[in-house]
Structure 1
Amino acid sequence: MQRLAPFPLVDKTRSTLALPDWTVPAWIAGIVVAGAALRAVWAFQVGLHPDEALYASWALRIADGSDPALLGVYVDKPPFLIYLLAGIAWLMGNTPASVNHLQQIVVAGRLAAAVAGLVSLTLLYSIARQIYGQRVAMLAVAMLAASPLAARLSPSLLTDPWLLLFMLLGLWAALGKRPWLTGLACGLAFATKQQALLILPLVVAAFLLVQTEITAPGATSRSPRLRKSPSQPRAGIAAVTGRSWLEFGDFRSPFKQRSGDLWRLLGGFTLIATLVLWWDSQRWQWMPSYWERSATTYGGLAVVTGPQLARHLAEWMQVLTTVLGLPLLLLTAILCGGRLIVAIRERGSGAVPTAGANRVQRFDALLGLFMAAYLAVHLATSLAPWDRYALPVAPVLALLLARIVLWWTDRLALQGRRSAVVALAAIVAVGALWAIATAASPRFPVADNSTYDGVPAIAEHIRDSEPATAVVYHRWFGWHYGYYLYGTDLDRRWWQSPADLARQAADQLDRRQLVALPSAEDRQAVEAALKQNGLALAPVLTATHRDGSPSAVLFSIESSAGAVAGG
């Protein structure tokens, strides 16, 4: 009976269902191109996520030189993305002359993020190939390319695509024994989003695993930096035995190498982290740190208990289904469960793992611990079940799916069950097509900004056709106005409730007053509150979605008699 080594097993020379080597570049290029097409289409959507609008408005303050350190606004994010967007805005002309110009800046920023997403695909392929082999790498990168969550978040002005890029860059640099680049990648992740603190342990642990391999017994003789030059004269033990002391293993040199590489990693991280700290310190005398501000706006964290726990877990499970799509997520769970049963039944019958298998097992354990810890933090605490928080686990789940699918494929093939292999391949293909269709669907809720499709048209009307002394009330579109109306002197005011809007409007009857309401919102309460103060809504402009359906309506607030006459 054929014995199978316990999962994880990776034999990089195995030819079972392997592709010819000459076709691999073409397949990888095809996967990346398909991923690019799936992502690029969403770079041109009209609507802006509120966070996108906020970051873009901050970037304009930097680009035009009016507030280069952002000392005039409350900032709750690290600086990397904001200054990247500022650089894009500066290159495209830092004076926003029109809404169309501002929309072009948005598209450019989204395309830059989409490119970062494509680089993430290539980094994942390189990482997986070094650890698990070519077959796992190809399937994993295909799964990440088809990921609905990654495809929709990648072309955005959010911080998450860049955080994922620096996470994978750090892992790639760690596997390649590049301590400086590993540290710089960690620093850039720290400069991108606070959640980097949950990701940095993974990168550092991967770096330490590689360092352990370098300094293991017998590894020094294979290290280029520790190799004895043939031209150097031999002395001492080398003269007697004909072998260098390095070939016996020196206990000081590995320690020096490991500590030196750790210092280089720390130096790369410190270089970026110091710049972030200096930037943040500029506001400490009169404004909170971005850490303090983010904690304030978020409302703090707490352990979720009691009746809220079930709902919280259900919401997070719904978010996790967007990572690879529900079919592939269920397939991963089923195959992993089956693998666990096989492991229990075949306990003690596996072959002795090789050094390569040990390395793979260590990285499997590392990735498993990371995913378990990352999910535990989000599931057990009051961290909001926002889809973008799940993006860092997308490449890990893609790797896990590729690993378990190919393990079952090899097992079934060795057992001669070709029909089962074909069936499994068909299920994976259908699941991938499901994921692609989900990512391409306008009904997919992730990064769905269609609610805000009408804001650019409304802002364009206000900029071009309304007096500079007008009052613009906002409740849903405040951050959007901060971007699209940047540079204007309009009086923008937030209203908390219909009664609050009516009260403010009653005090400004001598000025032009405007308010935009989403078409999906019931405006009866607003009309009733205004009516009690002798005011009414008069339609000015109806903005639409791409399909022609109403998106938002811009109203002027008039006295009841004026509104009737105007109608």
Structure 2
Amino acid sequence: MTRSASNGALRWLTGITLLGLLLRLPPMWAHRFHQDEALYAFWALLISTRRDIMLRTVPVDKPPFFLYVLARFFTWFGPGEVTARLPGLIAGVLSIPLIYVLARRVYGARAAWIAVALFTASPMAILFSPTAFTDPLMLFFGIAACVAAMHGSWLLAGLGVGMAAVTKQQGILFLPLVLMLGWVVHRPHQARHRQYVSPLPFASSLARSLRASLAVGHRLPLIARGDALPFTLPERWRPVMSLALFITGVAYPIWQAIRWDHWRYLPPDRPGFLKQSVISYGGLYLAPITAWPARVAEWLPWLGYLTGSPWLNAVLTIGLPWLAWRAWTRRHEVSSRVDLVLLGYGAAYMALHIVADFQIWDRYLLPLTPIVALLGGRVLMAWGQAILDRCERWRGAYRRRTLAVALSVGLLVVLAGPALTAAACGFPVGSDHGAYDGIDQVAEFLKQELPVGAVLYHRWLGWHWRYYLYDVLFNFRYYDSTEALVADADGPPHIVRYIVFPGWRLAERDAAEKALAARGLLMIPRFKTYRSDGTLSFVVYRIERAGADGR
């Protein structure tokens, strides 16, 4: 690639990355926290305010890295929903150029542009990036590990997998993908001592400047590569050294996470984060075979949001089996072997989530987004190339160029619809989509209305109250049934008692109101919030004994 072409590619990639940022910004402010986002933000508040910097008082079921990143952002920019979603936004946007680097390494520039367009416009990628979930950062490290492995940097590849795992436990599932990608690109019979040539000119210049500025900087890239060691090593030992570097990279972050868990000095009745994750999710078992068809049917709608386009989904449904056949017949080519790895990993990933009793949650499919983008780029590139070749034979080179422009514009039009819909939060994936709208207003009302020591009953909003009411001194009381609520509320009348019902739990509200009335207690409405469509989101009630205040 010439210097002018490299500069042009860099400008185009910068433009696409900025477009991806613009698509991911609106959902940051659109809705309030999902319950898991609120929980992670609460843990980060405990760290950032130094109230519980080692999280000894809460049952943490996630690795520590993301929580401390979130806490650091809170100390830099102040706690808030937008601040909590910044790490995910940054990770999601930075994943865009990584997809280009990954695709260009084996597929060439044209397929790379299609892949990066598919990833940038993916509703799943757009709607999960501006969230406080652990998944966007985990995905970033997983993609970075794949890039490092395909360039032969095994230590960095291992570090990427390790960092993905200490961001979220499922990040360890990137390990077989990274190993297989690195192996098929750097098979033993291929030429060694290949030099790393960055597809982006600033990357190589940055590496040169770092090597010049650090006293031992010239050794760092070499140590990271198993096939470019600073000492002579027999050929047969190079794969062993590469694997050792990879394992070292994976093990180091995981070891640090385990050390952190040990340093917490938890009480005997509080398990570490690994055991707590098993408790929180009920363990992982094989689903009954009779349940597999139903699980497939439940996963399929979420798979559709990887592209968000019925046209693209139809193309992939037909094109991926064709690509598998084509890759098998050309498996002597590096690009075809990469196709087989991606297809096999994607199929195995879905099979695992069907036969094992994973929760059927949209965010578990986020790791498939780059795989679908890469394979989709391959299918569209191959089919488009076949159409253009036939057009050139029939109509000439001029018509070929015209058709190439038309196909490119058509693809952009197909991608634009789902991308814009996702930017407007039009797909039910990612964070909350209106269920918790108004909870911040309810929190402000409660801070002003309730005296210190007042009782706030909760059943469905406990994780939200821990974040939104973090700095107040209320008596939070969980109840698991209407009977438990009535028994506790029928106490000393001088205690101020409040309860909040979400708009989707009005049936439980009616049952509670009837049961309380039987004990001579009234639920007095004090505050209501509504969603943008006019539907009721929350109602705040004060529980009082009948006859109080002249009633």
| Superposed pair shares fold, TM > 0.5 | yes
Residues in 2 aligned to 1:521 and 1:457: alpha-carbon distance in whole angstroms: 18
Q: 2:87–2:137: 8 Å Cα contact kept in structure 1? A: no
Which residue of structure 2 aligns with residue 236 of structure 1?
none
Q: 2:56–2:266: 8 Å Cα contact kept in structure 1? A: no
Matched, 1:394 2:369: yes
- Residue type of the partner of 2:259? W
- Residue type of the partner of 2:339? D
Residues in 2 aligned to 1:443 and 1:115: alpha-carbon distance in whole angstroms: 22
Distance 1:254 1:408, change over 3 A: same
> Gaps (5+ residues) in structure 1?
1-11, 14-18, 94-101, 225-245
**SS, match of residue 295 in structure 1:** helix
Residues in 1 aligned to 2:29 and 2:490: alpha-carbon distance in whole angstroms: 40
**Displacement, 1:21?**
6.8
**Displacement, 1:193?**
0.8
- Residue type of the partner of 2:476? R
Q: 1:537–1:563: 8 Å Cα contact kept in structure 2? A: no
Q: 1:50–1:480: 8 Å Cα contact kept in structure 2? A: yes
Decide which of 318, 332, 340 is 1:365's aligned counterpart.
Answer: 340
**SS, match of residue 521 in structure 1:** helix
Matched, 1:216 2:189: yes
Which residue of structure 1 aligns with residue 521 of structure 2?
535
Which residue of structure 1 aligns with residue 427 of structure 2?
444
Distance 1:136 1:223, change over 3 A: closer
Q: 2:530–2:538: 8 Å Cα contact kept in structure 1? A: yes
Decide which of 387, 397, 405 is 1:412's aligned counterpart.
Answer: 387
What pairs up with 1:14-413 in 2 under 5 angstroms?
23-92=8-77, 102=79, 105-212=80-187, 215-216=188-189, 219-220=191-192, 222=194, 253-281=234-262, 282-283=264-265, 286=268, 287-327=270-310, 328-337=312-321, 358-413=333-388
Please say which structure displays the higher CA radius of gyration. Answer: 1
Residues in 2 aligned to 1:338 and 1:423: alpha-carbon distance in whole angstroms: 24
Distance 1:259 1:223, change over 3 A: farther
Residues in 1 aligned to 2:323 and 2:6: alpha-carbon distance in whole angstroms: 29
Q: 1:429-481, CA deviations, whole angstroms, 9 ceiling, x for partnerless residues?
A: 44312321331344421123411111111111222331011101112211011
Residues in 2 aligned to 1:507 and 1:45: alpha-carbon distance in whole angstroms: 41
Matched, 1:499 2:483: yes
Residues in 2 aligned to 1:111 and 1:426: alpha-carbon distance in whole angstroms: 32
**Displacement, 1:323?**
1.1
Q: 1:191–1:273: 8 Å Cα contact kept in structure 2? A: yes
172-181 or 76-85, larger mean C-alpha shift: 172-181
363-372 or 105-114, larger mean C-alpha shift: 105-114
Residues in 2 aligned to 1:321 and 1:283: alpha-carbon distance in whole angstroms: 45
- Residue type of the partner of 2:306? V
Q: 1:163–1:196: 8 Å Cα contact kept in structure 2? A: yes
- Residue type of the partner of 1:60? L
Residues in 2 aligned to 1:170 and 1:358: alpha-carbon distance in whole angstroms: 22
**Displacement, 1:308?**
2.8
Residues in 2 aligned to 1:380 and 1:425: alpha-carbon distance in whole angstroms: 39
Residues in 2 aligned to 1:319 and 1:71: alpha-carbon distance in whole angstroms: 36
What pairs up with 1:519-558 in 2 under 5 angstroms?
519-522=503-506, 523-546=509-532, 549-558=535-544
**SS, match of residue 510 in structure 1:** coil
Distance 1:270 1:160, change over 3 A: same
**Cα RMSD for the two superposed structures:** 2.9
Distance 1:299 1:221, change over 3 A: closer
Distance 1:273 1:333, change over 3 A: same
Distance 1:493 1:315, change over 3 A: same
Residues in 2 aligned to 1:425 and 1:564: alpha-carbon distance in whole angstroms: 73
Distance 1:560 1:382, change over 3 A: same
Decide which of 507, 517, 526 is 2:501's aligned counterpart.
Answer: 517
Residues in 1 aligned to 2:50 and 2:324: alpha-carbon distance in whole angstroms: 59
Q: 1:356-405, CA deviations, whole angstroms, 9 ceiling, x for partnerless residues?
A: x6111221111111111111100112111100000000010011111001
Q: 1:208-257, CA deviations, whole angstroms, 9 ceiling, x for partnerless residues?
A: 33442xx435x236569xxxxxxxxxxxxxxxxxxxxx9xxx99522343
**Displacement, 1:54?**
0.5
Which residue of structure 2 aligns with residue 8 of structure 1?
none
Which residue of structure 1 aligns with residue 220 of structure 2?
none
Q: 1:271-319, CA deviations, whole angstroms, 9 ceiling, x for partnerless residues?
A: 2111101112235662212122111121222322354332211110011
**Displacement, 1:206?**
2.2
- Residue type of the partner of 2:470? Y
Q: 1:442–1:448: 8 Å Cα contact kept in structure 2? A: no
- Residue type of the partner of 1:289? G
Distance 1:292 1:408, change over 3 A: same
Residues in 2 aligned to 1:367 and 1:491: alpha-carbon distance in whole angstroms: 52
- Residue type of the partner of 1:520? W
Aligned residue pairs, count = 503
Residues in 1 aligned to 2:99 and 2:166: alpha-carbon distance in whole angstroms: 22
**SS, match of residue 132 in structure 2:** coil
Which residue of structure 2 aligns with residue 476 of structure 1?
460
179-188 or 68-77, larger mean C-alpha shift: 179-188
> Gaps (5+ residues) in structure 2?
197-226, 395-399
Residues in 2 aligned to 1:205 and 1:251: alpha-carbon distance in whole angstroms: 26
- Residue type of the partner of 1:35? G
Q: 1:455–1:477: 8 Å Cα contact kept in structure 2? A: no
Q: 1:514–1:555: 8 Å Cα contact kept in structure 2? A: yes
- Residue type of the partner of 1:277? I
113-122 or 19-28, larger mean C-alpha shift: 19-28
Q: 1:49–1:452: 8 Å Cα contact kept in structure 2? A: yes
- Residue type of the partner of 2:97? T
- Residue type of the partner of 1:391? L
Q: 2:296–2:354: 8 Å Cα contact kept in structure 1? A: yes
Q: 2:286–2:356: 8 Å Cα contact kept in structure 1? A: yes
Q: 2:70–2:87: 8 Å Cα contact kept in structure 1? A: no
